[in-house]
Amino acid sequence: MAVRTITITDTAYQALARLKKDNESFSEVVKRLTKQAHPLTEFAGACKGASPDKLREAREFFEASSRISSHDLVEVAAGKRRRA
């Protein structure tokens, strides 16, 4: 497997780290964020026990994700950009 080294800002790293799931590599995070289609099974159980505020925030995030690029979503998650 070929490996590449990239340079990202601390802010971008922190944004990726927040989006990283347990036992997921940063390469897997990037691939997950840049894939075009997400099967519904990927989200199964994700909202179990979430508060109404968290559900509202998630809905707004996913609505924004259909209008902006994955790069912009990372900036939103990092707090560098306001949600659309």
Does residue 41 fall inside a structural domain? no
The C-alpha R_g of the chain, in whole angstroms, comes to: 14
Task: Give how far the C-alpha of residue 44 lies from the chain's centroid of Cα atoms, to the nearest Å.
Answer: 16
Q: Pick left, alpha or beta for residue 23 (phi over 0 → left; psi -120 to 50 → alpha; otherwise beta).
A: left
Question: Between 53 and 58, where is the model more confident?
Answer: 53
Render pLDDT for 22-49 as a digit per residue (tens, 0 to 9): 999 999 988 888 876 667 777 777 778 8
pTM of the model: 0.42
Does residue 71 fall inside a structural domain? yes
Domain that holds residue 16: 10-36+50-77
Nearest-angstrom CA–CA distance, 25 and 33: 12
Does residue 5 fall inside a structural domain? no
The structure tokens listed for 32 are 């997950």
Does residue 15 fall inside a structural domain? yes
Does residue 26 fall inside a structural domain? yes
Contact 78, 33 (CB under 8 A): no
Does residue 45 fall inside a structural domain? no
Domain total of the chain: 1
